[in-house]
Structure 1
Amino acid sequence: MDTVDVDLGALAGRVRTLAAGRPRVVVGVCGAPGAGKSTLAAELVARLNADASGSAVVVPMDGFHLAKSVIAVDDRAGRRGAPDTFDPDGYAALLRRLRANTEPMVYAPEYRREIEDPVAGAIAIPRSAAVVVTEGNYLLHPDPPWRAARASIDEVWFLEAPSDELRVERLIARHERFGKSAAHARRHALGSDEANARLVSGHRERADLVLRWPHW
């Protein structure tokens, strides 16, 4: 599949076209850890909300991280960020509610890096929000629970970093910014994060669109 450069204006136009005549459209941004998914989602929503007729909100998949207390009982604590350290059924259920758009307000969980745990009910999605942008590693994962989540997303875009070296550098810097030592940050980025990145890269061809940052 061909890769196109991130162009916020063009992507916002694509979303508006998808949303035409619908009560709500759900767009997903998938990619490896550190690829800039949350940045793209936030910038896209800001662009859409700059239009007086627009109403968009970001709902990250990361809110469905299992709590540290849950994964502490087995080996998942050392693999946090792997598919089995999330609640994909809960994520799929939320996306079904958001896609149906029949409730006055839906509340979604949010992952807080400062505590490294999700917080319930932290994101409010009113019925008036015509666009939901969701982002995460496993939107294109082929296992059934993740496919159930994908079924409620109108399009999924796969986002690539300009290079893996830059992506890993930024990931290490992010870990350090949220309190990890330099050694811990590097070990985490080159260990479990990189294993997850290799898994996610195998889902690229399942995307509706493949994007790459032209520069960082």
Structure 2
Amino acid sequence: MTRYLLGVTGAPGAGKSTFAVTEQRRLSEEGMAAAVLPMDGFHLSQSELVRLGRRDRMGAPDTFDVDGFVATLERLRAPGAVTAPGFDRKIEEPVADAIEIGADIRMVIVEGNYLLHDRDGWERVRPLLDRVVFLALDDTVRRERLIARHVAFGKSPVEAEAWVARSDDPNAALVAATAHRADEVIVEGAA
């Protein structure tokens, strides 16, 4: 039996992680073991981002290991257990082999910004996913969530707002342009 890979995408702060974990719990309650594979584990390391001059754009498509991400998705298509990196938000670093997806897991919820991106190597991702849902959230709410997240992990409110404007908002615009490639768009309003 092959695994089913459900993609969950949307702009930074759209609620992808929450949606993925909620879906995983729902499936578990229905008796189906599922795993979540966040794209965040494929961030390039801080030292590599600095070396490449991309640290101030962390989260952009070229700040991830797209080849490693694609290779992991390909391994998920084959039988057997798969390990993948996780991500530690406190230190903003990937953590090798932090996620183990057992051979018995038949549903993997893959979540990340660029699942529908169509260039720079990301075009290889969509064909590996069975279905992709796009989460669309009111921009004001999305920005508020992002600023609160950045503050919770150590940035001052001013630094958080600057980061959202410099990095998260341009990435959000890039991601929003991919929504038409999704199998389903789920719109959440400002309420």
Matched, 1:172 2:147: yes
Name the residue aligned to 1:17.
Answer: none
Distance 1:93 1:132 in 2: 15
Contact 1:168 1:190 in 2 (8 A): no
Encode CA deviations 1:44-91: one digit per residue, 9 max, x unaligned: 000001112x01000011110000010112331111100000011110
Contact 2:61 2:114 in 1 (8 A): yes
Contact 1:108 1:122 in 2 (8 A): yes
- TM value normalised by structure 2: 0.96
Contact 1:68 1:77 in 2 (8 A): yes
Distance 2:90 2:160 in 1: 14
Q: Size of the alignment, in residue pairs?
A: 191
Query: C-alpha root-mean-square deviation of aligned residues, in Å?
Result: 1.2
> How far off is 1:182 after superposition?
1.1
Distance 1:71 1:192 in 2: 14
Distance 1:77 1:146 in 2: 20
| Percent identity of equivalent pairs | 48
Q: Secondary structure at the match of 2:155?
A: coil
Q: Secondary structure at the match of 1:179?
A: coil
> In 2 relative to 1, CA 193–144 (structure 1 residues): closer, same or farther, beyond 3 Å?
closer
Matched, 1:95 2:73: yes
Name the residue aligned to 1:65.
Answer: 43
Distance 2:49 2:150 in 1: 20
Distance 1:122 1:150 in 2: 24
Matched, 1:24 2:3: yes
Alignment map for 1:142-157 (pairs within 5 Å): 142-143=118-119, 145-157=121-133
**Gaps (5+ residues) in structure 1?**
1-21
Alignment match of 1:114 (pick from 84, 90, 103): 90
Name the residue aligned to 1:140.
Answer: 116
Distance 1:62 1:34 in 2: 13
Contact 1:93 1:149 in 2 (8 A): no
Distance 1:199 1:148 in 2: 17
Q: Secondary structure at the match of 1:69?
A: helix
Q: Secondary structure at the match of 1:58?
A: strand
**Gaps (5+ residues) in structure 2?**
none
Q: Secondary structure at the match of 1:147?
A: helix
Name the residue aligned to 2:181.
Answer: 206
Matched, 1:76 2:44: no
> How far off is 1:148 after superposition?
1.3
Matched, 1:129 2:105: yes
Contact 1:67 1:117 in 2 (8 A): yes
Q: Secondary structure at the match of 2:121?
A: helix
